[in-house]
Structure formats: C-alpha cells, structure tokens
Amino acid sequence: MIKQIMLLLLVLTCTVNANAQTIPLNSLKQVDLVNVDAEVLKYKGQTGLQVKAAKGAEKLETLVIIPDVNFKNGVIEVEVSGQPAPGAFAQARGFVGVAFRVKEAEPYEYEAFYLRPTNAREHNQVQRNHSLQYVSHPDYPWYRLRKETPEKNMSPMQI
C-alpha cells in the first residue's frame, strides 16, 4: 500500500486517569522519525510538524514516535490535518494514523487508529464507513481484520 499523504501534527494530549500530559509537537528534537521526513512549520496560526513518507519508504512502516511517554490506558487527543500529497492518484484516500502502545521491535508492534479524511467527505456511504479504522500491528493488520471481521474494525466519522 502506498501512503501518499501529508500530515500535520499540532499537539498531542494524553490523559491517564486524572493526569493530563500535553505535548506540543513543535520541534523535531522531541520525536523519533521512522521512515518519514518531517519539518516544523506554521499552519493556520499554529506551529506543528509536517510529516511525509521518506523517499523510497512508501511501502514501509512510517511512524513519528514521541519517546518517554508513560501511557497505558486513557484518552489520546490529537489535532491533525491530512490530505493526499500533491501528485497522488485520484483515488488516494489519505491516512492519518495515531499509534499507541508502540513497542520498538522488528517489526514495530503497536495499536493504531487511522483516519481517512477524504473518505469522511465522500458521497458514497460505503466509502464513508471506512473513515476510521483500528489495527493492531503486526498480528492484526487492516487486511486480516477486514477479511476475518468485515466492517467491525471500521466506522464512519464526521470531520
């Protein structure tokens, strides 16, 4: 699967029990990049990270890891903006993912929610139903979940 998307991460808030930890994503010094290129920029008046798959990494895992976050169960809030990259094919859906419980192994292990902003705005209800998707990598990737539990790991959403 070719991931052709530009992603802008603005702020990440992790809430565990009653203790909230806000991490402004405004510096490359606070993140580890895995198969991506990123730069700090201003977007709609806020500073954030623009993230793109590194050249040649389109079929590899692409992650921005925030190290040293002590998170087990709770709420993750993140402000993101995503759209298919310039030159992406017309049917590109765009993926903006938030991974959690990341374990640095080979391959990486994590759970994630993927948002597909272009699906959320589709006229076709079937496409809209694929706006939000859950995966647990590497044991339960999207294609396994779609085959074994069709439509159970996906949901529509409004953006």
Q: What is residue 30's predicted lDDT score, i.e. its pLDDT?
A: 87
Using CA atoms, how far apart are residues 49 and 41, in angstroms rounded to an integer?
6
Most confident of 66-75, 93-102, 137-146: 137-146
Q: What is residue 3's predicted lDDT score, i.e. its pLDDT?
A: 41
Which segments within 17-95 are labelled E, that is strand? 19-24, 32-34, 36-43, 46-53, 63-65, 75-84
Domain total in the chain = 1
Categorize the per-residue pLDDT at 4 as very low, low, confident or very high, splitting at 50, 70 and 90. very low
Instruction: Find the domain containing 64 and state its range.
Output: 5-85+92-155
Model confidence pLDDT, tens digit, residues 137-149 = 999 988 999 899 9
- Token pair 């203790």 is at which residue? 19
